Amino acid sequence: MGLNQEVGDAGAAQSINASLSPELLGRYAGPCPRYTSYPTADRFTALAGAEPWSSLQQVDSLSLYVHIPFCRSLCYFCACNKVITRQYGLASSYLSNLLQEAQWYRDRVAAVPVVQLHLGGGTPTFFSDSDLERLLAGLGEIFDLRAGSDVEYSIEADPRTLELETLGTLQRLGFNRLSMGIQDFNPAVQQAINRICNPEQVRTLTERARERGFESISYDLIYGLPGQNVDSLERTIDTVLALAPDRIALYHYAHLPDRFKAQRLISCDLIPSPMEKIAMQLTAARRLTDAGYQFLGMDHFARPEDGLAVAAREGRLARNFQGYTLMPADALVGLGASAISYSRDGYWQNAHRLKEYAAAISARGQAIHRGWQLSADDRLRRWLIMELMCHLRVSKGELSQRTAVPFTQYFRADLARLQPLIADGLVEETQTDFVVTERGRWFLRNIAASFDTHLHGACSDARYSRVL
Ligand code: SF4
């Protein structure tokens, strides 16, 4: 498809049917936060006596996140908090730290069901099956873990190293969702990112996970990787579509070698140009929606019958640090190095580096390093941004109820920032609502950013990844 041509796909039922020109995509391609939290984590500071975890006693439901940072080899594109090692001893002592940290929450959190558990990394299945069992048993002593289809227990898996037996262990432990990092199936791209993964491995794992009753299988794909082009990405999409995962995340690769050391191993010459990336994004999204996937917004696609797609249609979608979820909880407890927690009152984040995390846990049972106590204005904007990201609209009536002065006065500067996006057809202002248009779903980050006072009070936006 020519890059100067308007791109649309009116044919598919769940299509991205707004026309998107490369010029429009280019205009909004700059750095912008992803808004898994508000304020975004880069704003967190020393808590200086504030204790946002104190409201964990007043919640009705809880999410739990456990960060397991170990990986056996380095993927050159990686921007995660990970530790590359082949020494299992490190993982064993980390597990002890995690269980000790969980104990710190014993008297601080209400005895309420954990509706969402997520093990992320790194590679959570770096833990042996017996250590995964030890982890879940230890967590179960503190938190109310319960298996079933009314909870979402998920794990990130590396298809290169996930053993079939481990799928059985995970199922017995109550996991019902599996997320696999695929990135790209093209051998040259895999070589360039040092991540060789055979599609047959993925096929076998997908089939076995389905046989074992995993309710949702998700693949992560990345566009903009070194050596990738529209044709190679299309071939990856062909393979992915044949495997029919329930959910697909299509992420943009942000090449930031100054920030992420691993990325210095990638030759800049191999990085596709911004226009090539735009073509890749449009092609991949068109192929997925043509195949029946529903575009949820923010890089996420799901089969129409998947719970996430149903929740999106019914206006029940929520968002947390793992992206979209259909199990919104009142608070999230994050365990492990760099993990972030939140409550009604704010956020708190653990020390990033393994050594600092372990030392803090040994010294005081927790590793809280920084965070943010929400002001009334932060709460209002957090609600507003989540409305836009999850429900694609915000009601003027509700805005009025939440502000002491007319909302047009309260949000005067924000609404002025929104005007160009309205002019570009990304947001529509009706009598009663601000509505994200079909076209605007591609630019949710930009739309949300209009209401981010912390961002607009800052000197620089260079720390965020580019939208494209
Ligand atoms: S991409 Fe995943 S498996 Fe690869 S180094 Fe990063 S965290 Fe580890």
pLDDT above 90: residue 225 = yes
Instruction: Tell me how far CA of residue 232 lies from CA of 186, 239, 281, in angstroms.
Output: 6, 11, 13
For the ranges 27-36, 71-80, 163-172, the lowest mean pLDDT is seen at 27-36
272-295 residue pLDDT tens: 988 888 889 889 999 999 999 999
Separation CA 375–CA 378 (nearest Å): 5
Distance from residue 71's CA to the centre of ligand 1 (Å)? 6
The confidence band for 24, taking pLDDT boundaries of 50, 70 and 90, is confident
Q: Which atom of ligand 1 is nearest to the CA of 77?
A: 1
What pLDDT band is residue 5 in, cutting at 50, 70 and 90?
A: very low
Whether residue 461 has pLDDT greater than 80: no
For residue 121, give the ligand 1 atom closest to its CA.
Answer: 7
Quote the tokens at residue 328: 């919104």
- Ligand 1 centre and the CA of 76: distance in Å? 8
**Position 147 confidence tier, pLDDT thresholds 50, 70, 90:** confident
Expressed in angstroms and rounded, the spacing between residue 399 Cα and the centre of ligand 1 is: 41
Q: What pLDDT digit, counting tens, does each position of 154-197 carry?
A: 999 999 999 999 999 999 999 999 999 999 999 999 999 999 99
- Predicted local confidence at residue 327, as pLDDT: 77
* Contacts of 33 by beta carbon, 8 Å cutoff, 6+ apart: 40, 42, 445, 448, 449, 452, 455, 464
Collect all residues with Cβ–Cβ distance below 8 Å to 269 and sequence separation of at least 6: none
> Minimal CA–CA distance to 411: which of 396, 427, 431, 391?
396
Q: Which domains does the chain have, with CATH numbers?
A: 22-35+376-457 (1.10.10.920), 41-332 (3.80.30.20)
CA distances, 265 to each of 158, 192, 261 (Å): 21, 9, 8
Take atom 7 of ligand 1 and give the residue whose Cα is closest. 122
Q: Which residues line ligand 1 (CB under 6 A)?
A: 71, 74-75, 78, 80, 82, 121-123, 158, 181
Q: Which ligand 1 atom minimizes the distance to the CA of 195? A: 4
Q: Give the pLDDT score at 464.
A: 63
The residue contributing the CA closest to ligand 1 atom 6 is: 78
Cα 407 to averaged position of ligand 1 atoms, centre (Å): 44
Q: What's the whole-number mean pLDDT along residues 6-32?
A: 58
Which residue's CA is the nearest one to ligand 1's atom 1? 78
Ligand 1 atom nearest to CA at 73: 5
Pocket perturbation via mutation, ligand 1, pick of 80, 220, 253 by most ligand atoms within 8 A of CB: 80
For all residues of the chain together, what is the average pLDDT?
Answer: 90
Report CA(72)–ligand 1 centroid distance (Å). Answer: 9
Measured CA to CA, the distance from residue 71 to residue 65 in angstroms comes to: 18
| Distance (Å) from CA 148 to ligand 1 centroid | 29
Using the mean position of ligand 1's atoms as its centre, give its distance from the Cα of residue 211 in Å. Answer: 27
Residue of higher predicted confidence among 140 and 16: 140
Give the 3-state secondary structure of residue 282.
Answer: helix
